Structure 1
Amino acid sequence: MYYRRKIDDYLSNWKADLAHKPLIVKGARQIGKTESIMHFAKANYENVVYINFALEKKFSQILADGYDVASVIKNISLADPSINFLPNKTVIIFDEIQENPDVATTLKSFKIDGNYDVICSGSMLGINYKKIHSNSVGHKTDYEMYSMDFEEFLWAKGYKQEQIDSILSHMVELKPFNDNELAVFKSLFLDYCVLGGMPDVVKLYIETGTFSGTLDVQEQIRLDYEEDVRKYAEGLDQTKIISVYRSVPAQLAKENKKFQFNKISKNARSREYTGCIEWLIDAGVITECNCLQYPELPLKGNIEESKYKLYYPDTGLLVSALDAEAQEDLRVNKNLGVYKGALYENFVAEAFVKQGLGIFYYKKENSTLEEDFFVRTQNNLIPVEVKSNSDQSKSLSSLIKNENYSDISYGIKLGDFNVGNANNIYTFPYFCAFKMKEYLTQSEKSPTSKR
């Protein structure tokens, strides 16, 4: 069974645009890229040409005579005479292009030719783009895909769009959820935290109605990621890259205010790991949260290069990396224990990234003033605090009240509580994080908004 993904609407709009360019769908391994592309292609084209460079080595030489369309099609036909090319009725899918990254150089020719739609897909593209002779700049469109977000998970569970959109309505209208709504969405959210959004994991959970077998799938995905390090990390210390990847869950559990290399090895220094973190980010298997120098706009030009936190882009994979006792508590008892703050913080980071929101945090040296995340609208910088308990939000209040931080007029707190508003702090349940971008857009436009 195919589960609806957000890329579905994107692909439909892409095809409907008469000026559309060849498309490259990027993202980490096993997030559902190929399945979504093939589902779309079969439903919208009379003829589908699918080439997988990882599985079909016979296509490895299709660029031997150059990057023009005629030469590429000739060499594809030589490799497999059964393939047909019907002008204006064909989509060509180049999959696993990390194995043959120069294929991206043909996209300019395909765009100019205009007879065939082209969709490329692959993992590790952040790494392998560096090997491409010409990136066909201006003649292609890139789409970044992720594992399923909470909304896609709810679609897979059978929830209707109006039910999901009601979450946003509660946020915008500052209307508390009733007890039944709150209980249902919290339960679904906890399941999603444990499972994450890897399609194979979600499918197994839905088909069986239990968590049985899902941990095995998650562990295999993590092992596959580590195998990618051994396969693709050239010129870098592969052991150190894997050490960084494995260190993230423990460092999050300790709520470190920056990633600490001495937690990997007692005498480790950042300079020894130059390139390792960039490699993992480019590969799409970790996410970097930058520390702001000051809690003010702009964001991207206001970061401390040496301070950052690292997250897993899929919270389910983070959960699967925890110790056996934590697995038991999470999957059977729904007790988050010592990892509660780490999991929720990772989920919020994941949700923000999947919405296209940058992730930034702040920690003032020699002070208790700190904030988990910052997001922005056109006119405001909004601190976002992720609470694993009911303690007061002292830093959030300080940022809002401090006249030196003129970009901040209100804050948001995500936690295990209902919708509320007090002292310019807007509180929402954790599960609302996936609607944050829409909420910010609507609240900014609202004529009755107090912001």
Structure 2
Amino acid sequence: MVLKRKIMDRLIRWKNDPDRRCLLLQGARQVGKTYIVDQFAREQYEHYVSINFEYDARYRDLFDGDNNVDALVERMKLSIPGSRFVPGKTLLFLDEIQSCPNARTALKFFALDGRYDVIASGSLLGINYEEVSSFPAGYVDRETMYSLDFEEFLWAMGQDSSTIAYLRGLYDRREQVPAAVNDSMMDNLRQYIAVGGMPRVVQSFADDHDYDRVLRIQRALLDDYRDDIAKYAEGREKAKARACFDSIPKQLAKDSKRFTYGLVEKGSGARKYAGSLQWLYDAGIINFCHCLNNPELPFEGNADNAKFKVYMRDTGLLMAMLEDGAQRDVIVGKNLGIYKGAIYENIIGDMFAKQGKRLYYFEKNSRLEMDFFIRYEDVATAVEVKASANRQAKSMRSLIDNYGVKRGIKLSPGNVGSAGDAVEVMPLWMAMFL
């Protein structure tokens, strides 16, 4: 089974845009960038030339000389047997371009020339902008690719577009979900929490539903991330980035899930570790969720960059960082205490981030905290995430009564409803539509 990915539609829109420039496809390792570009090229182009600068370092030498496009093309034709460059009909794919800074510089000249479509792919790991002699600002379109979102996961599990349309209709009409449907969707969401969205993991699960194999693959991916930290982080950042990465499960175990540098190293602070966290973010491994000074729009103008939570970008990988048995505990809905709430917060944050939302939360004097704030229908909307079904919304009511918040959404395993004026209640899985 071929995994269906939404990024394919965006690639096709790019190809059909008469003003297209070279495309830089970014994203963490193992999210499927190379696979999707190969598939796109086979379906949309007559000729396809692919260069992977990590697989064969010799190709880096092709970009050491003249940046004239004709000269570059001739060098590639001589070095890559069977390669054909036909204006308007050839896609050139420069994979792992972070390993060849000169190739990144050459994107400007391909964009100005315009005869050939060019996609460059870089896993954010190891991209060192200082090594690029002339960054092609203004000559590159950008797309970021993530692991599979929840809708793509449902497709992989055999759900078709008509089923998604039915579910969206229930959401749009704020209609009560039939109990059997809600139970089934919560089962799907718990599977998605345990499996996550990394393509290799999802493919394995779709083939045989073997959670033990899923866990082995996930932990191998985590080891790959740790190896990449050792390979690409510079100097002292290696140990610091690894320490921040390994602290994430402990950070989320606290009542207040705000990132605390003391959990990385006792007595440490932002001066020592902030750069390492930013490195993990740039590598596509974590999401930041910043605290708002005031729960109002514009969020970025009200955000406190010194106060934040850190979530894993793929919740399945977070689960794999826990001990054996955690997957099954989530699947059967076992009470995991405070950590169950952390897992559900992570999945909702993951879902929001994959929709292109920046993540924000609000807290006041440790007595009032709201998990997320999103711009929803142009209103600052509080979002509360609950792992158990109840319609109490004390924090939400306090925000509405005392802080001018006009709208709230409570996500829980329960059904569609309300918790008083201005507070809607929705099943957790409906976050995919927010």
**Aligning the two structures, in what range does the TM-score lie when normalised by the shorter sequence?**
over 0.9
Cα shift readout 1:159-200 (whole Å, capped 9, x = no counterpart) = 111211222222221101001211111111111110000010
Q: In structure 2, what residue type is equivalent to 1:420?
A: G
Q: In structure 1, what residue type is equivalent to 2:383?
A: V
Aligned to 2:408: 411
Aligned counterparts of 2:169 and 2:134: Cα–Cα separation in 1: 46
Q: CA RMSD in A?
A: 1.7
Shift of residue 35, structure 1, vs aligned partner: 0.7
Aligned counterparts of 1:101 and 1:6: Cα–Cα separation in 2: 29
- Alignment check: 8 A CA contact 1:326 1:336 kept: no
Shift of residue 126, structure 1, vs aligned partner: 7.7
Aligned counterparts of 2:286 and 2:397: Cα–Cα separation in 1: 31
Counterparts of residues 16-415 of structure 1 (less than 5 Å): 16-124=16-124, 127-330=127-330, 333-335=332-334, 337-338=336-337, 339-365=339-365, 367-377=366-376, 379-389=378-388, 390=390, 392-402=392-402, 404-405=403-404, 408-415=405-412
Q: In structure 2, what residue type is equivalent to 1:330?
A: V
- Alignment check: 8 A CA contact 1:126 1:282 kept: no
Counterpart of 1:2 in 2: which secondary structure?
A: coil
Instruction: Answer with 132-141 or 176-185: which moved more.
Output: 132-141
Aligned counterparts of 2:180 and 2:295: Cα–Cα separation in 1: 38
Aligned counterparts of 1:418 and 1:283: Cα–Cα separation in 2: 37
Residue correspondences, number: 431
- Alignment check: 8 A CA contact 2:126 2:233 kept: no
Aligned counterparts of 1:348 and 1:274: Cα–Cα separation in 2: 24
Counterpart of 2:299 in 1: which secondary structure?
A: coil
Q: In structure 2, what residue type is equivalent to 1:9?
A: D
Give unmatched runs, 5+ long, in structure 1.
437-451
Instruction: Answer with 347-356 or 77-86: which moved more.
Output: 77-86
- Alignment check: 8 A CA contact 1:253 1:341 kept: no
Aligned counterparts of 2:290 and 2:134: Cα–Cα separation in 1: 31
Give unmatched runs, 5+ long, in structure 2.
none
Aligned counterparts of 2:128 and 2:351: Cα–Cα separation in 1: 26
Shift of residue 36, structure 1, vs aligned partner: 0.8
Instruction: Answer with 121-130 or 287-296: which moved more.
Output: 121-130
Shift of residue 328, structure 1, vs aligned partner: 4.6
Aligned to 2:433: 435
Aligned counterparts of 1:235 and 1:68: Cα–Cα separation in 2: 36
Aligned counterparts of 1:363 and 1:263: Cα–Cα separation in 2: 20
Shift of residue 235, structure 1, vs aligned partner: 3.8
- Alignment check: 8 A CA contact 2:292 2:362 kept: yes
Counterpart of 2:289 in 1: which secondary structure?
A: strand
Aligned counterparts of 1:363 and 1:102: Cα–Cα separation in 2: 46
Shift of residue 325, structure 1, vs aligned partner: 4.1
Q: In structure 2, what residue type is equivalent to 1:357?
A: K
Shift of residue 252, structure 1, vs aligned partner: 0.9
Counterpart of 1:414 in 2: which secondary structure?
A: strand
Identity percentage of aligned residues: 39
- Alignment check: 8 A CA contact 2:125 2:228 kept: no
Shift of residue 256, structure 1, vs aligned partner: 2.5
Shift of residue 130, structure 1, vs aligned partner: 4.3
Shift of residue 10, structure 1, vs aligned partner: 0.7
Aligned counterparts of 1:176 and 1:151: Cα–Cα separation in 2: 20
- Alignment check: 8 A CA contact 1:257 1:363 kept: no
Shift of residue 286, structure 1, vs aligned partner: 0.8
Q: Give the 4+ runs in structure 1 shifted more than 4 A.
A: none
Aligned counterparts of 1:18 and 1:370: Cα–Cα separation in 2: 47
